[in-house]
């Protein structure tokens, strides 16, 4: 019963490099989300996907792209990393009903 799985857990990038954060859920949830959390702050929504085949911008989408590959997988891509993107990234999913959101364990990204 894995829930939401994110990879990698840690990553260091140089400014200008690109990378993709992977996220997969096994709960048959329709909706998936990418958040970032800066030190001492709450979570801010980057992008979300209400259902397979749809994606929408959240509060802080600039510098990011997403792909909802299928119902299980939702990836986040940084095309040209900047130091301002140093943060902890969380993927989450939600279905209908009583269980609310489930979060992955996070990816700690440092851009130098």
Partner 1 sequence: GIQVEQSPPDLILQEGANSTLRCNFSDSVNNLQWFHQNPWGQLINLFYIPSGTKQNGRLSATTVATERYSLLYISSSQTTDSGVYFCAGRADSNYQLIWGAGTKLIIKP
Residues contributing to the site for partner 1 (CB under 8 A): 31, 33, 42-43, 45, 48, 50, 56, 58-59, 88, 90, 94, 98-103, 105-106, 108
Least CB distance to partner 1 at residue 61 (A): 12
For the record, the structure tokens of 76 come out as 């986040």
How far from 15 is each of 65, 78, 79, 108, CA to CA, in Å?
17, 11, 10, 16
| Cis peptide preceding 8, ω within 30 of 0 | yes
Between 46 and 81, name the residue whose CB sits nearer to partner 1: 46
Least CB distance to partner 1 at residue 91 (A): 11
Would you say 80 and 62 are in contact if contact means Cβ atoms under 8 Å apart? no
Least CB distance to partner 1 at residue 92 (A): 8
**Residues listed for the chain:** 112
Between 80 and 105, name the residue whose CB sits nearer to partner 1: 105
């Amino acid at each position: 019963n894995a829930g939401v799985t994110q990879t990698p857990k840690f990553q260091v990038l140089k400014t200008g490099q690109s990378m993709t954060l992977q996220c997969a859920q096994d709960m048959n949830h329709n909706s998936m989300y990418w958040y970032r959390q800066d030190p001492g702050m709450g979570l801010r929504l980057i992008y979300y996907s209400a259902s397979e085949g749809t994606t929408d911008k959240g509060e802080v989408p600039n510098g990011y792209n997403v792909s909802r590959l299928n119902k299980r997988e939702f990836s986040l891509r940084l095309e040209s990393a900047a130091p301002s993107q140093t943060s902890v990234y969380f993927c989450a999913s939600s279905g209908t009903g009583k269980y609310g959101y489930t979060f992955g364990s996070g990816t700690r990204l440092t851009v130098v």
